Amino acid sequence: VGYGLHVVIDHGNGWTSMNAHLLKSFVVVGERVDRGQTIALLGDSGNSSGAHLHYEQVLDKTVQPAVFNGTPFVYNTSLSSRNCGDSPVAGDWNGDRSSDVGVFRRQADTAVFRKLWPDGTTKLGPFGLPTDTPVVGDWDGDGQFNLGVWSSPSATFTLKKANGGEHVFAFGNSSDLPVAGDWNGDGRWDVGTFEPATATFFLRDALGNVTTKAFGSVSSLPIAGDWDGDGRSNVGVYNPTTTTFRLAMPDGTTKTVVYGTPTSLPVVGSWSAGSVSKLGVWDTATGVFSKRFSGKHTEKVRFGRSR
């Protein structure tokens, strides 16, 4: 009761962190969270004299002096964090039918997509806020991927159009995770959400119609791709702990692929100019993308800041 609404994050090796006196939580028990993800809103629930964050770092159930990125925190002072890690993305940036990699970089007050082009150059796309989650796709069907973000506090997608305009709409719940794909095979990508609490995908088409698919578990990271080359995206999940992809195939079967490391995050792309989506990972510890081709061949690309 004293803590009110609170979120405890298990960091492994006996370490946890407590975030208490919250107004609203955006996560559920058992969900895997990533650095830079918005987990809650500040409040004054529980035994609180006013809105503030009660924060603790705990080792083996014993509270420890708080340290942020190696810097001890002095209580009753202010400390600004500017070290939020990159998040991986992949897409066809130039319309050549091959996917390239990129990262979503969170800065102090803004965010920027850093896209690696086939010629090795990096092109920047300022878009979104540091509290957003990146989502990319071919929103208008012109063959080139465009930028987008998901804001969990408002459960809102903001998709950047090729003409520079934006499509902003609410969908899902604050505790959801975003996905994108061509659900109906019309060449235009749409968005969806994954609800960890029920392990359910909610896939929205351009007309606002929604289809659901139960797949994965509360700790799954959602993905989507055209697993069989029929022009339609299907869902999948990744479990970094077991380094396992599970793909929901169109015929109702599930394909399992072990790939990556426990510090990896999933990416999906058409690495070889084909219609079938391939798997990949970005290792947060090394900043290296591993793109998996047919025949288990892997191509590695270092891009983005390691964590």
User: Do 223 and 238 contact (CB within 8 A), yes or no?
Assistant: yes
The residue ranking higher by pLDDT, 52 or 112, is 112
- Provide the percentage of residues in the chain whose pLDDT is more than 90: 81
For residue 101, pLDDT beyond 90:
yes
pLDDT computed for residue 222 by the predictor: 98
Residues sharing a CB contact under 8 Å with residue 139, sequence separation 6 or more, in sequence order:
146, 148, 159, 160, 161, 162, 167, 188, 189
Residues sharing a CB contact under 8 Å with residue 136, sequence separation 6 or more, in sequence order:
89, 90, 91, 102, 113, 145, 146, 147, 148, 180
At the top level of CATH, the class of 87-302 is: mainly beta
Kindly state the average pLDDT of the residues 235-253. 96
Element containing residue 22 per DSSP (H, E) = strand 22-25
Specify whether domain 7-72 bears CATH 2.70.70.10: yes
* Chain segment 150-195, per-residue pLDDT in tens: 999 999 999 999 999 999 999 999 999 999 999 999 999 999 999 9
pLDDT computed for residue 134 by the predictor: 98
Is 87-302 in the same CATH topology as 7-72? no
Kindly state the average pLDDT of the residues 73-91. 83
Distance of CA 153 to the CA centre of its chain: 15
Kindly state the average pLDDT of the residues 69-88. 81
For residue 78, pLDDT beyond 90:
no
Would you list the domain boundaries of the chain? 7-72, 87-302
Per-residue DSSP letter, 146: B
* Chain segment 269-307, per-residue pLDDT in tens: 999 887 899 999 999 999 999 999 987 799 999 999 998
For residue 137, pLDDT beyond 90:
yes
pLDDT computed for residue 68 by the predictor: 85
Give me the DSSP letters along 113-167.
Answer: EEEE-TTS-EEEEE-S-TT-EE--B-TTSSSS-B-EEEETTTTEEEEE-TTS-EE
Largest CA distance in the chain: 61
Confidence of residue 82 (pLDDT cuts 50, 70, 90): low
**Among 135, 119, 132, which residue's Cα sits nearest to residue 223?**
135
pLDDT computed for residue 108 by the predictor: 80
d(Cα 213, Cα 200) in Å, to the nearest integer?
Answer: 6
pLDDT computed for residue 81 by the predictor: 67
For residue 124, pLDDT beyond 80:
yes
* Chain segment 42-58, per-residue pLDDT in tens: 899 999 888 888 999 99
**pTM, two decimal places:** 0.87
* Chain segment 247-266, per-residue pLDDT in tens: 999 999 999 999 999 999 99
For residue 1, pLDDT beyond 80:
no
Helix (H/G/I), strand (E/B), else coil: 296: helix
* Chain segment 183-233, per-residue pLDDT in tens: 999 999 999 999 999 999 999 999 999 999 999 999 999 999 999 999 999
